[in-house]
Amino acid sequence: MIRPGGGPGPLTRGALRVTIGAVDTFTGKLAVVTGGGSGMGRELARQLAAEGCSVAACDLDAESVEAAAAAARADAPAGVRVTGHACDVSDEAQVLRFRDELLAGHDTDHVDLVFCNAGMGGGESFVAGRRDVWERTFAVDWWGVYYCARAFLPLLIASDEGVLVTTSSVNGLWASLGPGMPQTAYSTAKFAVRGFSEALIEDLRTHAPHVRVAVVLPGHVGTDIVANSLRARGLPEPGQMSDEQVREVIPAGAQARLIQAGLLADGASAAELRQVLVRANADFRDKAPVSAAQAATIILDGVRSGSWRILIGRDARVIDAAVRAKPDAAYDYAELFKGQTASGPS
């Protein structure tokens, strides 16, 4: 409980800890990065290794994480160990196997940093979408973070000074993508990640004060998350999808919205829909205001400075400020963004 009237109390101690929590250097440390095969996770692994930090990265996609680990090793100073591991973070047994592999591979009994970064999109509509896709998205985005926290927090507690970094999203602040674009599974999971992370602040302060938590809230960052999320559902690359698959991924309602927005011709063929999907992934990656490398730098700077809340991008800052300023208008988009020019979040 926060004591009223000031004086030495939790707030004072908490404020002091912000300074204590700053990280001077990543050199000589060991970091765990989930979802290290692509996007922000791959960049985190590369930038950490370049700074002299050993890394154990995992990914659902064994090939991509092996390639990312090799690239990070190539950029790293001598003595830095970077290992790649296959692991589905939504499966606790695989997370525990990953933990045991990295403890053996890095010959250690603790880790210094854990980046719970792996995630996927999907399960947009609870009302009209497929239940299995909804539950898969929620399992990766929430249970993946939970299982990794269960597995790795004891190893952070065993370090001198540990940091647990979770990745939520602007959809952990605002549960929509805008008009006609529900985002139910992802938002539910990302709100859970943010709530869990914020709740851990006091728990760690109380029970393990040498460990802290930071939550990352990215806006739109240029990565292959669109294609990777489809692959994580067992679908091929957008360009390789069958007519049936592409029509399932862009159902009639979504086609109608694309037609209305002038992005699709009325009565479009499956081949045209496939091209829309290919372009959507490329545009999401290439037309983002922040690159994956820039996002990783912002995350590492935030961890270094001891901040517990790391917003990425102007869109994230705009949404954060707008939802706080006008909570009752959060889903009245015209009112919420009155006077703003930022494009929508991811």
Q: Contact residues for ligand NAD (CB under 6 A)?
A: 34-35, 37-41, 58-61, 64, 87-90, 117-120, 140, 144, 167, 169, 218, 220-221, 223-225, 228, 232, 292, 346
How far is residue 147's CA from residue 91's CA, in Å, rounded to a whole number? 8
Q: Which is nearer to ligand NAD, 159 or 183 (CB)?
A: 183
CA proximity to 113, closest of 43, 27, 223, 220: 27
Give me the torsion for CA of 106, 297, 19, 167, rounded to 10°. Answer: -70
Shortest gap between Cβ of 8 and ligand NAD (angstroms)?
38
Tokens of 145: 């973070």
Shortest gap between Cβ of 34 and ligand NAD (angstroms)?
6
Question: Which DSSP state fits 345?
Answer: P
Shortest gap between Cβ of 230 and ligand NAD (angstroms)?
10
Shortest gap between Cβ of 40 and ligand NAD (angstroms)?
4
Q: Which is nearer to ligand NAD, 287 or 338 (CB)?
A: 287
Residue 219: phi, psi to the nearest 5?
A: -85, -145
How far is residue 331's CA from residue 314's CA, in Å, rounded to a whole number? 19
**Alpha carbon of 221 to those of 40, 234, 247: distances in Å?**
8, 23, 26
Q: Which is nearer to ligand NAD, 17 or 120 (CB)?
A: 120
Polymer length in residues for the chain: 346
Shortest gap between Cβ of 194 and ligand NAD (angstroms)?
11
